[in-house]
Amino acid sequence: MMKLEGALFPWRFRLVLGLLGVMVAAIAWRIIDLQVVDRAFLKGQGDARSVRHIPIPAHRGLITDRNGEPLAVSTPVTTLWANAKEMQTAKEKWPALASALGQDPKALAERLEAQANKEFIYLVRGLTPEQGQAVLDLKVPGVYGIEEFRRFYPAGEVTAHMVGFTDIDDHGREGVELAYEEWLAGVPGKRQVIKDRRGRLIKDVQVTKNAKAGKPLALSIDLRLQYLANRELRNAIIENGAKAGSLVIMDVKTGEILAMVNQPTYNPNNRRNLQPAMMRNRAMIDVFEPGSTMKAISMSAAIESGRWKPTDTVEVYPGTLQLGKYTIRDVSKTEGPVLDLTGILINSSNVGMSKIAFDIGGETIYRLAQKVGLGQDTGLGFPGERVGNLPNYREWRKAETATLSYGYGISVTAIQLVHAFSALANNGRLAPLTLIKTDKAPQTTQVLPEHVAKTMQTMLQQVIEAPRGVFRAQVPAYHVGGKSGTARKTSVGTKGYAENSYRSLFAGFGPMSDPRYAIVVVIDEPTKAGYYGGLVSAPVFSRVMSGTLRLMNVTPDNLPPTQQANATPVVPPKANGGRG
């Protein structure tokens, strides 16, 4: 019967057998397909669902002053984050977490509920590693730590404008931190980890890319001078009830900025309650009319023209000069009806300067102003830096020529003004400005013949040392030179100049035996003791120049005769091994 049936339907049996065989082959093929052919793809897909790359933060380069004093330091911090979804499984631990974080338990719970489906939220950023570990030790499910770096600024408000700061993600946002971001930042690394479906870390697999640390940066500034400048400027601002101010010290031979401070300032380590006015690096981002400090440049142009020498005289009587409906005025009444060129600087005669300007022509002054960098790009590339404005020369009317010659109708930054004076100090050679410490002597440009610069040095020394000079700028034991300026501020809204708001200026250099340091002091809107540059800014110049020359161990070139005798080095008695 069976045989009969089998014999009757032998094809049915073979069919079933054949089908089974095909199925086995299909399964076998599928196994081979998955395990051999698609292996890489599938493993990749699986890993993509569990392997994560997390960044390893790069250590940001240290910023120091020229002597290696730290100005911006990266310290390791722990940032705590949470997988809020995962945290919902252990609500009983939230109060303990809140107290460890120093947060209000109710507020934290509300936040975690509101973001219950988020897999990444920050709990708190920038704890000390110890604080962070204490929280992690609570082992609250869903709470994780990442190591980051945070910037600390040891000199705080004293270097705030220069150094700037980084944002919470450690990227430069202001100052040198921003200008040199690429240099300082480095490149973050990558670490491969395996996480489960819920994002919990299961295994730290390997570092796939090492973090590349940022490079260190030594600035040109000298922290000691920076402190000195900051202290003297701040005191002057308070004493004079002034709104703001800037002070810049420059090494005229190397082009290095040795100090640059502004008031008001701020603490970069605690940026709550920051007002925009505090953050301005005024020495580079505020422009102003240089007023009479400009006469040092105009006078240089006159000497260079060969048409004028210091002893030549100009009639300044009666202290005014009418140009159509425009009147040029001298503020202080001078000794006599005529002044020589030095006298024009000492008495700061606008009339005298203007008459010289008419003789040499506006273009002569314009060319020199341009060469010494007034209203020109400094090339520093500092964030927010302004270029100012030197109006392009055309056939100027007399009034325009005159006002340019004594410092109006042109706008400059404090750093440009110190740069311009540095050319006079450095015997006519202009060194390019730099905020970075330089080791080799820079390429300088001869912008003024040496003999002209030397003549100007003598005249500017007279401005300070002559009987009617700006005696408040004098520096004990040294000869220095410079020029004060008092400029009415242009008032917004009106077309002209404010009646009673002034900018007090002083620009100078020393020691005259071999000028090395140039200093500019800008005091904005003094309201108390007076407002003349010779009264308000000159004493600040004196104190800061005095401190600078001492700190830099510069040999005095103006000791009174008795002290000079004492100053001859005392030769120590020869050592004789104690044999008497």
Which positions lie near ligand 59J, rule CB under 6 A? 291-292, 331-332, 348, 350, 403, 408, 484-488, 497, 532-534
Nearer to ligand 59J, 61 or 526 (CB): 526
Q: How far is the CB of 432 from ligand 59J (least distance, A)?
A: 29
- Tokens of residue 362, six digits: 């506006």
Q: How far is the CB of 295 from ligand 59J (least distance, A)?
A: 7
Nearer to ligand 59J, 348 or 546 (CB): 348
Q: What is the 3-state secondary structure (H, E, C) of 289-328?
A: CCHHHHHHHHHHHHHHCCCCCCCCEEECCCCEEEECCEEE
Parallel/antiparallel/unpaired status of strands 201-209 and 189-195: antiparallel
Nearer to ligand 59J, 3 or 495 (CB): 495
Nearer to ligand 59J, 63 or 321 (CB): 321
Contact 313, 339 (CB under 8 A): yes
Q: Determine if residue 324 is left, alpha or beta; phi over 0 gives left, psi from -120 to 50 gives alpha, anything else beta.
A: left
Contacts of 551 (CB under 8 A, 6+ apart): 222, 224, 225, 228
Q: Which H or E run includes 277?
A: helix 276-279
Check 292, 405, 484, 546 and give the catalytic one: 292
Q: How far is the CB of 496 from ligand 59J (least distance, A)?
A: 8
Q: How far is the CB of 313 from ligand 59J (least distance, A)?
A: 19
Q: How far is the CB of 325 from ligand 59J (least distance, A)?
A: 13
SS3 state of residue 205: strand
Q: How far is the CB of 164 from ligand 59J (least distance, A)?
A: 33
- Tokens of residue 424, six digits: 């006079």
User: b or e along 523-557 (b: 16 or more beta carbons within 10 Å of the residue's beta carbon)?
Assistant: bbbbeeeebbbbbbbbbbbbbbbbbbbeeeebebe
Q: How far is the CB of 434 from ligand 59J (least distance, A)?
A: 30
Nearer to ligand 59J, 164 or 534 (CB): 534
Annotation marks residue 305 as catalytic: no
Q: How far is the CB of 493 from ligand 59J (least distance, A)?
A: 16
Q: How far is the CB of 273 from ligand 59J (least distance, A)?
A: 35
User: b or e along 497-510 (b: 16 or more beta carbons within 10 Å of the residue's beta carbon)?
Assistant: eeeebbbbbbbbbb
One DSSP character per residue, 225-241 reads: HHHHHHHHHHHHHHHTT
The 3-state DSSP composition of the chain as helix, strand, coil percent (nearest 5) reads 40, 25, 35
- Tokens of residue 166, six digits: 């980084």
Nearer to ligand 59J, 159 or 403 (CB): 403
- Tokens of residue 434, six digits: 């730099």
Nearer to ligand 59J, 10 or 530 (CB): 530
Parallel/antiparallel/unpaired status of strands 63-64 and 217-218: parallel
Nearer to ligand 59J, 140 or 424 (CB): 424
- Tokens of residue 179, six digits: 């200008």
Phi (first) and psi of residue 256, to 5 degrees? -80, 140
Phi (first) and psi of residue 52, to 5 degrees? -125, 150
Nearer to ligand 59J, 172 or 469 (CB): 469
Nearer to ligand 59J, 64 or 292 (CB): 292
Nearest to 390 by CA among 246, 289, 304: 289
User: In Å, how far are 1, 146, 462, 484 from 142, measured between CA atoms?
Assistant: 72, 13, 75, 66
- For residues 355 and 299, what is the distance between their CA atoms, to the nearest angstrom? 11
Extract the runs of DSSP E, i.e. beta strands, from 169-239.
Answer: 189-195, 201-209, 217-218
- Tokens of residue 453, six digits: 């610069």
- For residues 507 and 519, what is the distance between their CA atoms, to the nearest angstrom? 6
Contact 105, 98 (CB under 8 A): yes
Tell me the β-bridge partners of 122. Answer: 81
Q: How far is the CB of 486 from ligand 59J (least distance, A)?
A: 4
Active site (catalytic) residues: 292
